[in-house]
Amino acid sequence: MKKKKIIGLIIVATFSIITLCLLFKSQELAEFPELIKRIDIRFLYMAILCMISYLIINSTIIYIIGREISKEITFFNSIYLSFVGQYYSLITPFASGGQPAQIYAMKSRYNIPLSVGTTITVKKFLIFQVVVSLYAIVMFFLKISFIMNKYSGIILFIVVGLIVNLVGGISIILLSYSKVIVVKLLDILITVLRKLHLAKYIDRDKIISHIDDYVKNIDEIKNNKKTMISLVIITFIQLTIFFSITYFIYLSLGQKGAHYIDILALQTIVYVVVSFIPTPGGAGASEGSFYILFKVFFSRDILLYAMALWRIITYYGNMILSGLVLLTIRIATYFTKKRRSA
């Protein structure tokens, strides 16, 4: 965990420096003070409120799932676990550190068994993956003519991002109906990889074990349809709120002409394109995708600033807030234990 954290922080720092260099070397830097004066603070507050709402909803989802499994999961605990997941996801490639960190926190802080912690994180992941996959596909086909017209040069990257997310969503749906199909597809994939001499480190038995765990969790979700429907709806709202941040940044900078659904669709595409790029928080890839996709809507003189505001709110601000919350809780816990032992 510590090694991943250090590597993640190095990558984040590198791409942050590159982004700042691009920003400070831009000819528009001299106009930045004037741009600040022009910002409509009401819409900027709305963007920040969206990010805060996203985090609150994230805590709520953890609470709903966790409460059905363990009485140790209170809403306050869920808030802490949400920030743990956010922080370690933001500093590790593919957001791979979030779930292990949450499982470890549940065990070390609340004495929740590893099996229970794993079940909670897996259930949340399964629901999120299905919803985000369907969300992205719907948005893509809703605006397909616009995307094909404006972004024909990068359509391959967009399609790859959609396919990666769609495969994840379809795999989960298939697991909910037929484990046999998934295992057969896995065997076909392993056979192909072996012929390409790329299957050296693939452990089929271990993968099957993970599949069994997923099937168990999916069956539990399916058996409680009321909770499942509620979580799907809440996750949909959560994603919509998160993807809406860009629209409020757009309005705060005095931009006009773009429809809400257009920006929502493009922000969804930015998310799925970045999701398969192995940098912490999509560092570098997020900025590049935003710049390429949103230059259609933002005037050139403020595009870099729009990108900077978006990343500050959704990534750097989130990472700093999560880190400060975790640090504060750790300090408070330390002094509480010290007082009790005195």
Predicted confidence at residue 301, as pLDDT, reads: 77
Eight-state DSSP code of residue 73: -
pLDDT confidence bin for 61, thresholds 50/70/90? very high
Predicted confidence at residue 276, as pLDDT, reads: 62
What pTM, to 2 d.p., does this model score?
0.80
Total number of domains constituting the chain: 1
Nearest to 125 by CA among 168, 158, 167: 168
Question: CA 117 to CA 108: how far, in whole Å?
Answer: 11
Give percent of the chain with pLDDT exceeding 90: 19
208, amino acid identity: I
Pull the structure tokens for residue 302: 């403020």
Predicted confidence at residue 282, as pLDDT, reads: 54
User: Per residue in 101-126, pLDDT tens?
Assistant: 898 889 888 888 887 888 888 888 88
Its domain, for residue 300, covers 2-341
Question: CA 28 to CA 71: how far, in whole Å?
Answer: 55
Question: CA 237 to CA 244: how far, in whole Å?
Answer: 10
Statement: residue 327 has pLDDT above 90: no
Distance, first Cα to last Cα, the chain = 32
Mean pLDDT of the region 4-18: 54
Query: Is residue 133 within 8 Å of residue 230, measured between CB atoms?
Result: no
User: Per residue in 182-219, pLDDT tens?
Assistant: 788 778 878 877 777 766 777 788 778 777 777 777 77
